[in-house]
Structure 1
Amino acid sequence: MTIDIREAYRRALDDFGALVHRIAPGQWENPTPCAGWDVRTLVNHVVSESLCVPELFAGRSAAEIGGAFDGDLLGDDPLKAFDASAAAAVQATGEGGSLTAVVRLSFGDVPGAEYITELFADALIHTWDLARAIGADERLDPELVEACAAWFADAGDDYRQAGVMGDPHPVPAGTGLQARLLAAWGRAG
């Protein structure tokens, strides 16, 4: 990967956040490409994930965190909830030693760099999901798409076997990298 993964994650969260700030009042219930999720559920998912990041980098395990960040985390001010959680996650991943830290996830211990890569990929793909749901420009940052595609080429089968994503969609020859990446993630773009 040619871009520092911490920078890629920050940029992906920034892009997601820019869309969060564009959600119109009547769009929070719009369906997303994530089966069964509306816009509010999608944003809540990213907030929940972001709130876990500082805890995990502080040495707590996913089991210790448990359901602390389940339920509605957006409250009456979804923008504030997103902004605060994203800032905390970026700070935690940007601190010295984050790449070599051991992060204790539900399926086992992983190096910090791998966990940040997973966070980055999730934020990037969910940026497209949110753009699609609110009718915004669906083009993702090409440098981030390239970084994610390079990582996911090796990691995709593991994620499908773990049941965290659907089967890839077929794409015609000559399809652009973003469309191929989304198809690999089970998105019909």
Structure 2
Amino acid sequence: MPTNWIELDSQAVQVSVELAARVRAADLSRPTPCAGWTVDDLLAHMTAQHYGFAAASRGDGDLARWKPRPLRQDPVGSYRASADHVLSAFAADGVLDQVFPLPELGRSVPGAQGVSFHFIDYVVHSWDLAKALGVEVEFAPELLEAGLAVATAVPDGKARLAPGASFAPALAWTGGSRLDEIVAILGRSPRWPEID
């Protein structure tokens, strides 16, 4: 059975929205598993990625669409609006048949692959946000199985050391949850903020 990337992506984004709703002003300066980023930086990045992927789903490859912007007085509301925007864009008829120009990667990909890229970002970024807030995050088992398939398909190696790389080099996974396995494959320590 083909993977329903639109539905899985929507589930991952909804989890991120629920987590973002828990963010208070005092949380914005908290560190996150994304090296050097605060919760405010993470929300700004996540917001920009939603607008970038939504544009890509319409064939718009303008790199400016992916640029993070200040979230103003209402970071949570700004994030929620961006999530609604991308979910609406991905719900358009034929989106999986489109070609997504992804200027951050310097290439275009088929629509289903583009949505799967967005999906894995929001699985991982939901985990990032939960860790920063000191709360748990849960996903349905079928979502995590799809996430593992995407994570293992992401090329590892020197490319992940380049400035601006989406993920750090994979870490050894020594057991734990399926989500722990996914984040370790994508270069995050499941034990964050402890240092391995």
Contact 2:15/2:126 (CA < 8 Å) preserved in 1?
A: yes
Shift in CA distance, 156/92, structure 1 to aligned 2, threshold 3 Å:
same
Structure 2 Cα separation of the partners of residues 103 and 187 of structure 1: 27
* CA-atom RMSD in angstroms: 2.0
8 Å CA contact 1:54–1:92 kept in 2: the answer is yes
User: Per-residue CA shift, 1:143-184, capped at 9, x if unaligned?
Assistant: 221111012222343873773311111122x54322111110
Contact kept? 2:57, 2:100, Cα under 8 Å: yes
TM-score, normalized by length of structure 2? 0.86
Gaps of 5+ in 2: 191-196
Once the two structures are overlaid, the 10-residue window that deviates more, 174-183 or 67-76, is 67-76
Deviations 1:2-33 (A, max 9, x none): 64100111111100010100012211110000
* 8 Å contact from structure 1 (residues 47, 73) kept in 2: no
User: Higher relative CO (CA 8 A, sep ≥ 6), structure 1 or 2?
Assistant: 1
Higher mean displacement: 45-54 or 110-119: 45-54
Partner of 2:193: none
Structure 1 outlier segments of 4+, above 3 Å: 138-141, 158-163
Structure 1: state its 5+ residue gaps.
Answer: none
Separation in structure 2 between the aligned mates of residue 54 and residue 137 of structure 1, nearest angstrom: 28
Return the alpha-carbon distance in structure 1 between the equivalents of residues 9 and 166 of structure 2: 20
Cα distance between partner residues in 2 of 1:5 and 1:157? 23
Maintained 8 Å contact 1:57/1:103: yes
Further displaced range: 31-40 or 71-80: 71-80
Contact 2:43 2:79 in 1 (8 A): yes
Structure 2 residue identity aligned to 1:155: V
Say yes or no: does 1:101 pair with 2:98: yes
TM-score of the two chains, using structure 1 as the length reference: 0.89
Moved more, 96-105 or 31-40: 96-105
1:19 partner SS: helix
